[in-house]
Amino acid sequence: MVARVPRSRLRAVNSEFGAVATAASGAARPSAAVIGGGPGGLMAAEVLARAGASVTVYEHMPSMGRKFLIAGRGGLNITHSEPLEQFMTRYGDKQNALAQSVSAFPPESVQAWCESLSQKTFVGSSGRIFPLGFRATELLRSWLVDLETLGVSLQTSHRWLGWDQATGALLVAADEKNSDPIQPQQLFPDITIMSLGGGSWQRTGSDGRWVPKFEEMGINVHKLRPANSGFLVDWTAEFITKFEGMPVKNVSVQARGNPVRGEMMITADGIEGGCVYAVGRELRAACDAQGNTVMLIDLRPDLRVEQVEQRLSTAKPKESTSTLLRRTIGLPPVAIGLLREATKNVLPRQAFDMAVLIKSLPLQVVATEELDRAISTAGGVAFEELDDRFMLHRLPGVFVAGEMIDWEAPTGGYLLQATLSTAVAAANGALSWWEEEHPTEM
């Protein structure tokens, strides 16, 4: 079983959402609509179905889990193995808001869930946890089969259009190409789980079109912003011609916080990559506040300033600066290009000054990449709009899960972990709420 769920009997209620089935024990089942067929929606559906609810998942794309599949193309990173106390710091100022849900369904539970689908896991050298098959395809296929076995109805090409202002019904319409618009269905599920994702990678269905519908209901939604995104840099044409698409390996970057080791990539418009994403929150905040900011790059993080200076002091007569940097400290052409680009090709002549520059190269970034090019999203439904069961205060019986809530995290397993954990919490919260609303009759 994925998570602990209430086992008390549930009283039958009338519902226009569909037939209310009765369990073998004689207890009636609540009907549940899950809006969104990504990992959050599918996990919520599983928890509800295992508790005996009659569940339908509505996904507006032609297939389930599209972003899940794309995220797993280079290796599906499902969670991370670091201690939970350190793990939670990755969520920044939202770690307290997420603490209860992640603690209740921690990384160990994600691993156990994968293995329940016959997808064994392993811990990589970086501490990240992957399915043994490394890809998302087999995991998603097994998951969908399991959901159908549990009786979950998976409805693709069905878009949620909001709530009917008069009746409060969910409005869902089949999205069929080359046909006239279909009159939306009015649905009255006993439980609703919203897991519509953020606003990045719109081609996967994560398009943020839910935001105005929530705002129409008076729900506070913080503006969706790029997270784990690249940043724009005003490169010269000469630099881009030489270095576009090249990685800058084994560097350390800093933006008003602790330095982060990793690799970054030169793009036509700026920079991207793991270490850039890790300081993205600070870069984005600075760009928002003042229009641009400076990121410091340590091009040789394994050497101290004094060591770099000592090596550079061995310059040979008539040796070019580029040759000196390659020979003494092993800087590749792209790193030397960054030095020239950041200084407008006015490099220091003294070994100490050059060493300081190499250890703290200032690179001006002017803005984040556009939202659709980001890996994930910051912003979303404010936590103040939710109770501790992830139910909307303004809409009893409607619960929210996943990336559409206002939290963000770096890559490395933290994104999927919080998505799955909040989905489990929302589903269990929905079941708990349902039982309170429909106490067992003696």
pTM of the predicted model as reported, rounded to 2 decimal places: 0.87
User: Would you state the pLDDT for residue 17?
Assistant: 30
For the chain, what is the mean pLDDT? 90
Residue 250 and residue 123 share a domain: no
User: Would you state the pLDDT for residue 133?
Assistant: 84
State the Cα–Cα distance between residues 102 and 39, nearest whole angstrom: 15
Q: What is the mean pLDDT of residues 234-250?
A: 97
User: Would you state the pLDDT for residue 416?
Assistant: 95
pLDDT at 95 over 60: yes
Which of 321, 345, 368 delimits the end of a domain?
Answer: 368
Q: What is the mean pLDDT of residues 144-162?
A: 96
pLDDT at 19 over 50: no
User: Would you state the pLDDT for residue 23?
Assistant: 36
pLDDT at 7 over 60: no
What residues have CB less than 8 Å from 289, skipping those under 6 apart? none
User: Amino acid identity, residue 242?
Assistant: K
**pLDDT tens-digit map of 169-216:** 999 999 766 555 578 899 999 999 999 999 888 888 889 999 999 999
Residue 9 lies in a domain: no
Residue 185 and residue 291 share a domain: no
User: Would you state the pLDDT for residue 75?
Assistant: 78
Q: What is the mean pLDDT of residues 271-284?
A: 92
Instruction: Reduce the DSSP state of residue 437 to 3 states and report it.
Output: helix
pLDDT at 5 over 90: no
User: Would you state the pLDDT for residue 430?
Assistant: 98
pLDDT at 395 over 90: yes
Residue 242 and residue 210 share a domain: no
Q: Which residue in 169, 136, 120 sits closest to 64, CA to CA?
A: 136
Residue 309 and residue 180 share a domain: no
Which of 333, 368, 403 delimits the end of a domain?
Answer: 368
- DSSP category for residue 390: S
User: Would you state the pLDDT for residue 256?
Assistant: 82
Q: What is the mean pLDDT of residues 253-266?
A: 91
pLDDT at 2 over 80: no
pLDDT at 165 over 60: yes
Residue 25 lies in a domain: no
Total structural domains in the chain?
2
Asked which of 7-16, 103-112, 185-194, 352-361 is least confident by mean pLDDT, the reply is 7-16
Residue 136 and residue 197 share a domain: yes
Residue 281 in tokens:
């929150």
Residue 205 in tokens:
């269905």
User: Would you state the pLDDT for residue 198?
Assistant: 92
pLDDT at 322 over 80: yes
Instruction: Reduce the DSSP state of residue 32 to 3 states and report it.
Output: strand
Residue 296 in tokens:
């410091």
Which of 368, 398, 415 delimits the end of a domain?
Answer: 368
Rounded to the nearest 5 degrees, what angle is found at the Cα of 140, between the Cα atoms of 54 and 162?
A: 50
Residue 277 and residue 192 share a domain: no
Residues in the chain: 442
Residue 24 lies in a domain: no
Q: Is the model more confident about 271 or about 184?
A: 271
User: Would you state the pLDDT for residue 29?
Assistant: 85
Q: What is the mean pLDDT of residues 144-166?
A: 95
Q: State the residue range of the domain holding 69.
A: 31-226+377-437
